[in-house]
Amino acid sequence: MQILVVDDDVELCELLRDYLTSEGFAVELAHDGPAGLVAAVSDRSGLVVLDVMLPGLSGFEVLRRLRERSAVPVVMLTARGDDVDRIVGLEMGADDYLPKPFNPRELVARIRAILRRAEKPSGSAPEGEGLAVGDVELRRSSRTVLRGGEEVVLTGVEFALLDALLSAAGRVVSRDELARKVLGREHSPYDRSIDVHVSNLRRKLGPSVGGGERIKTVRGSGYVYAAGG
Mean pLDDT for 177-182 is: 92
2-119 topology per CATH:
Rossmann fold (3.40.50)
Query: To the nearest whole number, what is the mean pLDDT of the chain?
Result: 90
| Domain segments of the chain as ranges | 2-119, 130-225
pLDDT tens for 8-45 read 999 999 999 999 999 999 999 999 999 999 999 998 99
Residues in the chain, total: 229
Q: What is the DSSP string of the chain?
A: -EEEEE-S-HHHHHHHHHHHHHTT-EEEEE-SHHHHHHHHTTT--SEEEEESS-SSS-HHHHHHHHHTT----EEEEEETT-HHHHHHHHHTT-SEEEEES--HHHHHHHHHHHHHHHHS--SSSPTT-EEEETTEEEETTTTEEEETTEEE---HHHHHHHHHHHHTTTS-EEHHHHIIIIISS---TT--HHHHHHHHHHHHH-S-TTSS-SEEEETTTEEEE-TT-
Residue range 130-225 in CATH 3.50.50.60: no
pLDDT tens digits, residue range 43-94?
899 999 999 999 999 999 999 999 999 989 999 999 866 788 889 999 999 9
